[in-house]
Amino acid sequence: MADQKRIDPHAPVLVIGLGRFGAATAQELVTQGREVLAVEKDPVLVQKWASTLTHVVEADATDAEALRQLGAEDFSAAVVGVGTSIESSVLITVNLVDLEIPHLWVKAITAAHGKILRRIGANHIIFPEFDAGVRAAHLVNGRMLDFIEFDDDFAIVKMHPPTETVGFTLSESDLRKKYGVTIVGVKTPGEEFTYAQPDTKVGPRDTLIVSGHTDLIERFAARP
């Protein structure tokens, strides 16, 4: 495997599979100004995305020679969006590992699938369905607007302010002492985002950016 250097944020990206996940990833990369080479074996999907993405090629990425002919080894980053067929996903990942692409993001559909992918050399495993389900579970209480959880049970959320914080400064609310959470920033409608200061006053229509342990944030978000 090539040296795990930090990825060039302007380097082209190889995206394999243009299902919902792969196509959404490719589209967002193009929106960010990245050059994308998308590889898809379904001619219908190739035609669908040909006018939207930078380059779309009809090819079978389970064929190592096909990837070599496309110059896949010249990419420093690749995303494998194939998930419905575990066999295809594994074969494609093996091919990319053999081509020594240093940064591989691969979609997995089960924990066992992810374990196999990691064992064969994929260094970024993505569980889109599972992650979306976890996120949805945290959002259904109605106060949280967005939720990002990290591996060590640390989370950052966007949420409506609990009643007890409205009309008070963060110093007066003393949320870190009461709930163990930190207010990172406050966004008032129509105004610029501001990083939280002790004298920042929370309004009823404000949005809070809160960080802390997942359980503590859940307890804080449950406040009326």
Q: What is the pLDDT of residues 64-118, one digit of tens each?
A: 999 999 999 999 999 999 977 899 999 999 999 999 999 999 999 888 999 999 9
Other residues' Cβ atoms within 10 Å of the Cβ of residue 48: 15
151 or 46: whose pLDDT is higher? Answer: 46
* Res. 152 pLDDT band, cuts 50 70 90: confident
Among residues of the chain, what percentage have pLDDT more than 70?
Answer: 96
CB of 29 closer than 8 Å to CB of 13: yes
Instruction: Tell me what the pLDDT averaged over the chain comes to.
Output: 90
- Beta carbons of 62 and 88 less than 8 angstroms apart: yes
Domains and CATH numbers, the chain: 13-126 (3.40.50.720), 132-221 (3.30.70.1450)
SS3 124: strand
In our burial notation (b when 16+ CB lie closer than 10 A, e otherwise), range 54-87 reads eebeebebbebebbeebebeebbbbbbbbbeebe
pLDDT of residue 153: 84
Residues linked to residue 105 through DSSP beta bridges, in sequence order? 79, 124
Band of pLDDT at residue 9, cut at 50, 70 and 90: confident
